């Protein structure tokens, strides 16, 4: 982390979101002349990349007038966006209701409750789509009670990454990034970051990472062919799609811990596995940035 950031003073915890470091990752099997860097998103105050999304959803809601005092923020989440919304909602003074599958880790639930959010759990078998349907039922029943953050449909989701994640990566690599690798969940991260990087240089390859089957253990990622596709998804942004097995994602988490002391989450392991595949296919020198969405302490 730069000395400037280490000495920074912020008026609000929300101003501390972003500015996350790039860390070199030394996985075995990476060819000579190819570098893999991890964008370490657990440095955000809520512990994940979804802090960026949550801040954007809430602040854009306020700017547009859809979010005002007296309304309750509501959304569905498989975990990290829930924590981000609980944090941002508390910081901005709003009540927050969250709907999530009962399979979400107990640690994430406790974090949300510690920030003051009210939780509703839906059947694990219904996955994130079941939680999404429950939120939309509630909003339809009481539209005057809620501000629906709606991470799957709101343009504020990819906008967060167009405004922050993409510019940070470009600046941190001195414009020398050749590949950006990120998982597909709500898809806002890859859409927003990819759009920004493509605007800076069409030579940057945007690589989307997806589980290889519907029933997988890569929490936070979606198998889009069998899931409800988020409305913010723009398949035209990605240049390459790589499918990852759950076991390979988990194994790469262990490798990153052994080689670099990085304790990362499962979706981050999947992104690093895909980044190594990209490295092996690269023709000549490359600088690959993998989005490491969160740390491994929430998966212990």
Residue 103's pLDDT is what? 84
Over residues 231-252, the pLDDT tens digits come to: 999 999 999 999 999 999 999 9
Catalytic annotation present for 50: yes
pLDDT for residue 78 is more than 80: no
* Res 105: pLDDT: 80
Q: Which of 75, 91, 78, 86 is nearest to 146 (CA)?
A: 75
CA distance 50 to 292: 11
Q: Is the pLDDT of residue 190 over 60?
A: yes
Q: Is the pLDDT of residue 58 over 60?
A: yes
Q: How far apart are CA 298 and CA 300, in angstroms?
A: 6
Rounded average pLDDT over 92-105: 93
> Domain limits of the chain?
3-45+157-299, 50-148
Q: What is the pLDDT at residue 7?
A: 62
Confidence class of residue 127 from pLDDT cuts 50, 70 and 90? Answer: confident
**pLDDT on residue 1:** 44
Judge whether residue 106 has pLDDT over 70: yes
Following CA atoms 242, 101, 189, 112 in sequence, which dihedral angle do they give, to the nearest 10 degrees? Answer: -140
Q: What is the pLDDT of residues 150-167, one digit of tens each?
A: 999 999 999 999 999 999
Given the residues 50, 56, 128, 222, select the one marked as catalytic: 50
Q: Which CATH number fits domain 3-45+157-299: 3.50.50.60, 3.10.450.50, 3.40.50.2000, 3.40.50.1100?
A: 3.40.50.1100
Looking at 48, 78, 128, 267, which residue is catalytic? Answer: 267
50-148 maps to CATH 1.10.3720.10: no
């Amino acid at each position: 982390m730069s000395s400037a950031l280490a000495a920074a003073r912020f008026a609000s915890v929300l101003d501390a979101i972003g500015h996350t470091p790039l860390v070199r990752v030394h996985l075995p099997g990476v060819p000579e002349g190819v570098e893999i860097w991890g964008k370490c998103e657990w440095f955000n105050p809520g512990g994940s990349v979804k802090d960026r999304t949550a801040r954007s959803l809430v602040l854009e809601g306020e700017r547009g007038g859809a979010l005002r005092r007296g309304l309750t923020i509501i959304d569905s989440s498989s975990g990290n966006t829930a924590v981000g919304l609980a944090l941002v909602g508390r910081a901005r003074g709003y009540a927050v209701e969250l709907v999530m599958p009962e399979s979400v880790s107990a640690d994430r639930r406790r974090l949300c409750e510690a920030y003051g959010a009210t939780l509703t759990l839906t059947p694990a078998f219904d996955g994130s789509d079941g939680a999404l349907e429950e939120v939309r039922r509630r909003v339809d029943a009481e539209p005057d009670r809620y501000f629906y953050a709606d991470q799957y449909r709101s343009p504020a989701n990819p906008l967060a990454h167009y405004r922050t994640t993409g510019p940070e990566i470009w600046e941190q690599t001195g414009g020398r990034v050749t590949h950006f690798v990120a998982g597909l969940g709500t898809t806002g991260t890859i859409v927003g970051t990819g759009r920004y990087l493509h605007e800076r240089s069409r030579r940057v390859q945007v690589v989307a990472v997806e589980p290889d089957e519907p029933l997988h253990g890569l929490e936070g990622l979606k198998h889009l062919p069998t899931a409800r596709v988020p409305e913010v998804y723009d398949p035209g942004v990605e240049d390459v799609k790589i499918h990852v097995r759950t076991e390979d994602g988990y194994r790469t988490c262990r490798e990153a811990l052994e080689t670099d002391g990085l304790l990362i989450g499962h979706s981050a392991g999947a992104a690093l596995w895909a980044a190594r595949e990209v490295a092996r296919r690269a023709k000549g020198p490359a600088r690959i940035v993998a989005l490491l969405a969160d740390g491994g302490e929430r998966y212990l």
